[in-house]
Amino acid sequence: MRLILNDKRVYLDNAATTPLDSEVLQAMLPYMTDVFGNPSSPHSFGAEAVAGVVAARERIAELTGCSANEIVFTSGGTEADNFAIRGVFEANRNVGKRMIVGATEHAAVLSACKALERTGAEVIYLTPETDGSISPSTLESALSDDTVLVSIMTANNEVGTISPIKELCNIAHARGALFHTDAVQAVGSVDINVSHTNVDLMSVSAHKFYGPKGVGFLYVKKGTRISPLILGGHQERGLRGGTTPTFLIAGLAEAYARALSTAESDVKRVSELCGDFVERVLKIDGATLNGAPLSAKNRTPYHANISFDGVRADALVMKLDLMGVAAAAGAACSSGSAEVSHVIKAMAGEDRARGAVRFSFGKYNTKGDVDFAVKAVKSAVEELRTAQGLLYLKSEITRA
Ligand code: PLP
């Protein structure tokens, strides 16, 4: 059922999820039909399935800069984050009880930390810079000799700000702490090769780069002590129980390879579209870009998070949806929540967070989409301001 008033729809929520590429679907189909065996079975049907999983694991490992047995398949980013946070704390209780994470991490990391606090962990939440990145000096001052794990995301899911992962990782290692990064939003636009960054653990999720939902992986550097999160089988070398979803893994490998091989051209095209959109939307009075400025190097090419003074983000997102533009507000992976974004709040305060909307571009967006969306945003903002009795005059706001 379609609930919109327009025939045209423009999808600007690629940070929430992306459509499945048809080539990825083709790579998955054999494992949904002919090659249906359980990879753990000892017969020929199992052996066929296992061959697909082995090939996918090797392909992913090579592209990640690690060995195949350092890749643990999961149900996606949320599970990979939980596994890293809870699994490392559990297995290293003898090392200490301090965990350090960014205050702007995804809810998967933050909720896992909250759960650990109830079992005695001491969690430090690092305040971001105004662009949303975590600075090396902030991390340095929070580290102690009993810090078990530092977890800082590569690229933030709401504003797209990139943190200096290699440097942060070196600082953590110098004090004997392990380092995890949530790279879910970074695949294809940031170098996440672990032989370059030297991280100990890294989370990735397929549906953010035109792969299937429900699959991802956690890279776990050889020798890292980690307890399984999901018990019940010997799969994934005993680190993750559950029947191996061969078709999802085949899709993940194909999507990952495609995302990395077309990264350069995709980044160029998407950043042009996104940049054009931002420049035009910022001409609206009282519109402010959240995160790193457009000219900065530490931002992804596809996030545009913009606050509109005097407008509530959830109302704007709903209005835009009726006009045919899909965007996101708040903690947007779980849209529908009316809470203000914890990310923008930590970076720029509650007022800015209340009016912050995330527009995220993808490789299937066009120049026509930008024109359509800019027009829709302008008129939606104007209508909401008028409806709220806030006929918006820049001079009045400046005076206030
Ligand atoms: N981490 C980040 C940064 C994300 O943007 C998301 C997206 O929702 C997740 C983790 C969760 O990933 P998944 O949807 O695969 O569980």
Contact indicator for 357, 384 with CB cutoff of 8 Å? no
For 46-83, write each residue's pLDDT tens digit: 999 999 999 999 999 999 999 999 999 999 999 999 99
Q: For residue 213, which atom of ligand 1 is closest to its CA?
A: 15
Is the four-CA dihedral 106, 108, 112, 115 of positive or negative sign? positive
CA of 183 to the centre of ligand 1 (A): 9
Burial code (b: 16+ CB inside 10 Å, e: under 16) for 133-150 equals bbbeebbeebbeeebbbb
Contacts (Cβ under 8 Å, ≥6 apart) of 141: none
pLDDT exceeds cutoff 50 at 127 = yes
Mean pLDDT of 19-23: 98
Active site residue 169: no
Question: Do strands 71-74 and 216-220 pair parallel, antiparallel, or not at all (unpaired)?
Answer: antiparallel
Tell me which of 14, 75, 205 to substitute to probe ligand 1's pocket, judged by most ligand atoms within 8 Å of the beta carbon. Answer: 205
Q: Is the pLDDT of residue 267 over 80?
A: yes
Quote the ligand 1 centre to 107 CA distance (angstroms). Answer: 8
- What are residue 4's phi and psi, to 5 degrees? -110, 160
Q: Is the pLDDT of residue 299 over 70?
A: yes
In this prediction the pTM is: 0.94
For the residues of 139-175, what is the DSSP string, one character each? HHHH--TTEEEEE--SB-TTT-BBP-HHHHHHHHHHT
The answer on pLDDT for 391 being more than 70 is no
Q: Average pLDDT of 313-324?
A: 97
| Atom number in ligand 1 closest to CA 15 | 5
- Is residue 85 within 6 Å of ligand 1 at its C-beta? no
Please indicate whether residue 184, judged by its CB atom, sits closer than 6 Å to ligand 1: yes
Q: Whose CA is nearest to atom 9 of ligand 1?
A: 77
Angle of helix 367-387 versus helix 313-322 axis, rounded to 10: 120
What kind and span of H or E run contains 49? Answer: helix 44-64
Q: Residue 131: what pLDDT?
A: 96
- What is the average pLDDT across 193-214? 98
* CB of residue 246 inside a 6 A radius of ligand 1: no
Does the beta carbon of 102 lie inside 6 Å of ligand 1? no
Report the pLDDT averaged over residues 213-234: 97
Confirm if 359 and 327 have CB atoms less than 8 A apart: yes
Tell me: pLDDT of 4 over 70. no
The response to whether residue 313 sits with its C-beta less than 6 Å from ligand 1 reads: no
CA distance 190 to 347: 22
**Residue nearest to ligand 1 atom 10, measured at CA:** 77
pLDDT of 19 reads 98
